Amino acid sequence: MHKKTLMVMLIVTALTLLVSACGLLQEPEEASAPISATALAAATKPGDPVMDTPDAEIEEDTIETEEPQSEDGQDTGQAAPGALTVYQISQADSEVRFELDEDLRGVRTTVVGTTDQVAGEIAVDPSDLSTAQVGVIQINTRTLLTDNNFRNRAIQNEILKTGDFEFITFTPTSISGLPESAGVGEEVTFTVEGELTIRDITNPVDFTIVAAIDSDGRLIGTATAVVQRADYGLNIPNVPNVANVEEEVELYIEFVAIAS
């Protein structure tokens, strides 16, 4: 009996060490700092997409955020026609979400992971949308959470390897589908093409965006895209009770951006 008990304990210990070694019991790295947007660079000419770079400087004579004034010198609360207003994504009002399906204990389940740690800037002149600009969008992977801590550790330690790769980054390369102009409260649908980097792998991805400027002057919208796990080497660890994980991953960015 003693030998059997000892054998069981050794097996349990070995399994625990194995699971721990593969990251399923290790606590993930915490975020290094609250996320912040990289400054949006000015376009070289109207209509050009803007690539965000850490060292880029805003050209004051290209992007103007000064509000027009009435004849008596009072602010009107609206941007001057022909001026780009820079909007910065508000973490307090925004959310990034991924969704995919899996069989969990034999039941088809939709896995949802969310974080509010998303940052980026958008420059818009509603009277001339051909000059719209979108900067680099960053998401802190160390803050992505689902409804299961075991799954969270697997995602962060094994799948996204967030200890080495803290951020998912989307770098826009072009914008298409915008109308000439839009009024307050008028939704517009357009596409932003760019390069999505997850861990150390970068692939072209298109985000479809539906957005509008509300009566409070905020830019509100949703960006959606679908990526394939295999394109980023996002392999699922072999764990009990989980099977048939969907290949497609749906990405959503529900954002509120405030004029800066």
Residue 106 lies in a domain: yes
Q: What is the CATH number of the domain that holds 111?
A: 2.40.128.110
Q: What gap in Å lies between CA 221 and CA 193, rounded to an integer? A: 17
Q: For the chain, where are the alpha helices, taking DSSP H only?
A: 2-21, 149-153
Give dist(CA 122, CA 133) in Å, integer: 6
Number of independent structural domains in the chain: 1
Q: Is 70 within the bounds of a domain?
A: no
Residue 67 lies in a domain: no
Q: Which domain holds residue 188?
A: 2-60+78-259
pLDDT digits (tens, 9 = 90+) for 161-186: 999 999 999 999 999 999 999 999 99
> 184 lies in a domain?
yes
Q: What is the mean pLDDT of the chain?
A: 83
Q: What pLDDT sits at residue 58? A: 34
pLDDT band at 1 (very low <50, low <70, confident <90, very high): low
Residue 73 lies in a domain: no
d(CA 46, CA 190): 17
In tens, the pLDDT along 48-98 reads: 444 443 343 333 333 444 444 544 544 444 555 568 999 999 999 999 999
Q: What is the torsional sign of CA 61, 126, 46, 135?
A: positive
Encode pLDDT of 191-241 as tens digits.
999 999 999 999 999 999 999 999 999 999 999 999 999 999 999 998 889
> What residues are paired with 76 via a beta bridge?
none
The model's pTM: 0.78
3-state helix, strand, coil in the chain (%, to 5): 15, 35, 45
In a domain, 69, yes or no: no
Phi-psi region of 101 (alpha: psi -120 to 50; beta: other; left: phi over 0): beta
